[in-house]
Chains A and B, each alone.
Chain A
Amino acid sequence: MSEFSAALRAVPPPFFVRLAALWRQWRAELFGTRLNAALTLGSLAFLAWAVPPVFRWAVLDATWTGTAETCAASDGACWAFIGEKLRFMAFGPYPAELRWQPALATTLLLALVVASCVPRLWGRALPPAWIAAIAAAVLLMAGGITAPSVPTGQWGGMPLTVLLCVAGLAGAFPLAVLLAIGRRSNMLVARVLATGFIEVVRGVPLIAVLYVATLMVPLMLPAGMMMDKLLRTQIAIILFAAAYMAEIIRAGLQSVPAGQYEAARALGLPFWPLMRLVVLPQALRTVIPSFVTLGIGILQDTTLVVVIGVFDFLNAARTAATDPDWLGFYDEAFIFAASVYFLLCFAASRYSLWLERRLQPGG
């Protein structure tokens, strides 16, 4: 008998029964109480008010191909503008015939990031791979092997955004480890310096750090010594990211049980091997999801380099709409840029959630 009822339960109910159950559930959720019904109707009214005009602008009345004149003739969005300006938005003022170089560099960096997201590949090969990939990307961007080299003032667009973000995170990592260890050290000078640096950098806006890089640093170098503006920007982003990353790593260090330190000491490990072989691997593993969140933040923060006149992706998209032939298509440019940022950040945040579940003990 019980076998029979178990077999009966294993058979899925017919389609219309499931549909009816779903409908009952939805009806309860959307119209179950008076409040719920009011909220549903309110939301529907909002959608009815907001969606049709946007849909008409973005799809029905939109111009998909053509010139600025055909765009000006219709009320809708001008997606032809995106098609026309795609290359400029992607690469900024980089010389047109050499664009394969930054494209290759970006592919390399993105492949590096994606590979680093696979838990099976986490290991000793990653740090050298990051250094090699970033060095190769910088060399590719600079060019000069087969063609004339490209000054950093002409770098721009998506490759620059990716480079600033990836090299920023990679450069911040060793510094952040030192800062986190220093902040937890019993050595007074190390603790005060690390804490002071972290709190000051976290207390001021990124724009202030960028001002330091663009306005203060040239004044602080000895006469005749120059430093490339993009390099200064990159260092500013590294220092900024390091302060936030140090706090993440500190949280990870605190999560390692004291017994691990004591066991490593009992094995006779000196301080640095103890950190490298026992503590850091455990500490870093728990905070990788926070690293991903920090990476999203830094990717979004790289847009602030607009303020000091560096041509990142957002700046390139905005500048595209100032072309006299295609003047004023700001909404289209911003929506396109927003979609690109959204795709990158949304994917990263989903990955972070997935990783958090996976890294949970027993998950």
Chain B
Amino acid sequence: MTRPGSPGPRGSGIRRALAAWCGDHPGGQVLLLAGVLLLFGWLGSNTVQNMHRFGLRPGFGFLAQPANFEIGQALIEYSSRDTYARAVLVGLLNTLEIAVAGCLLASLLGLVLGVARLAGNRLLSGLVQAYVELIRNTPLLLQLFFWSATVHALPPPRRALAPGAGIFLTNRGVFVPTLGFDSVPDWLAPAFLAAAIVIVGLVLLRRHLTTGLALTLAAVSVATPIGVALAAGLQVSLDVPELDGFNFTGGATLGPEFTTLLVGLVVNFAATNSEIVRSGIVAVPRGQWDAGRALGFCWWRTLRLIVLPQTLRVAIPLLTSSYLNLVKSSSLAVAIGFPDLTSVIGTTANQTGQAVEAILILGGVYLTLNLVISAIMNSANRRLALRV
């Protein structure tokens, strides 16, 4: 507790600075620190003794041993003969995949729902409100169980639901079309890199160029390599999934567990984000809407050009905590069988007995993810904050 006006310690400048730095009761603080260190030391020595008793060697050496368990969904090559380190990496990538996809989709859906809530239509806003209340007042895990049951109740591939656009919903996952490229010329990747450098340069020089010129240059730098490549025989095909025997081939597959987790997280966090968007829009003063009207903007243009940019200023700190929560909640994957980081770490800890090390990795990774997300969002916040 800072006590303004309390008589400070006397003596030389260094001693006073030291006393101000460590605060009141230095003796008590030393005791507290010693107590905490003793507790940790006791727990640590117990752990080492127990591990020796079980024939385990403390440390991270186990990461180099073969993992001997399969992982259902992996973004990189993985087999059960690979090491624990690689298994953990597979889990981390799965967590990142679900986190990025979840944050993007939940933000989009949240934006749509938040705007719909305030579109001035009583029926629509009532529907959105009912959705938000239903989602926020039931546990996320229950929702995930429900989505899991729903995904597994989808028809088998032979009778797949086809909502169109080459997308198929089955109990073996969701099949979506992808773009396929044939006879890609070697120089295409460097050419795209050059185009990217041009675009970055244009963004940096945007103050000195007209928008039209900048857009034209950007379009030319991207379109030229594509055009030349197409003329040189590049073939682009749409790889649509097709029924082949009992399953689909071609396209990309979102596994049933991934689909369950993604749908559950998006539906849940879209409700949170829609409330954030709503509170952000409400925080924009009424005069801004009137000003947009006075300029002759329609409702949509006023919202898009005037209100939403100001909404972001209120929404970003709240969105940051929503994203952090989404990343942490993605660990519920373990309950529905999606091999995310938490699930892989749990298996590793159970198989090797190296629980302390495994959980240290788990905590370290989540804390790092948190720091990264906070840093990104804070830099966005700084750019958007009012400069007075």
Contact = CB atoms under 8 A, between A and B. Distances in A.
> Is this pair of chains taken from one and the same complex?
yes
Interface stretch (B215-223, B247-255, B284-292, B325-333): B325-333
A73 to B, nearest CB: 19
Contact of A205 (B49, B136, B331): B331
Interface string B356-375: 10110011001100100000
B141 A306 contact: yes
A29 B126 CA distance: 12
Contact of A204 (B46, B127, B328): B328
Contact of A29 (B4, B22, B23, B122): B122
B349 interface: yes
Nearest to A337: B142
B65 to A, nearest CB: 18
B130 to A, nearest CB: 11
Nearest to A41: B123
Given A44-B123, A223-B53, A334-B149, A216 B142 contact: no
Interface stretch (B28-36, B191-199, B310-318, B377-385): B28-36
Contact of B342 (A32, A47, A205, A314): A205
A326 B356 CA distance: 41
Contacts of A219: 46-47, 50-51, 353, 355-356
B145 interface: yes
Contact of B137 (A36, A265, A342): A342
B123 A215 contact: no
A304 B141 contact: yes
Contacts of B139: 299-301, 303, 314, 341
A203 B335 contact: no
B51 A346 contact: no
B121 A43 contact: yes
A103 interface: no
Given A189-B32, A205-B366, A341-B139, A40 B331 contact: no
A258 B1 contact: no
A121 to B, nearest CB: 26
B342 A207 contact: yes
A187 B24 contact: yes
B372 to A, nearest CB: 12
A307 B335 contact: yes
A35 interface: yes
A200 B359 CA distance: 13
B10 interface: no
Contact of A43 (B4, B127, B366, B370): B127
A184 B335 CA distance: 38
Contact of B123 (A39, A203, A221, A342): A39
Given A341-B138, A342-B137, 18 more contacts: A36-B119, A39-B119, A43-B127, A185-B23, A188-B23, A204-B367, A208-B359, A211-B362, A212-B359, A219-B356, A223-B50, A262-B4, A265-B3, A314-B141, A341-B142, A345-B136, A346-B133, A349-B137
17 contacts: A32-B120, A185-B1, A185-B24, A188-B23, A203-B363, A203-B366, A204-B362, A205-B342, A208-B342, A212-B359, A219-B51, A220-B46, A222-B49, A223-B53, A304-B141, A306-B335, A314-B145
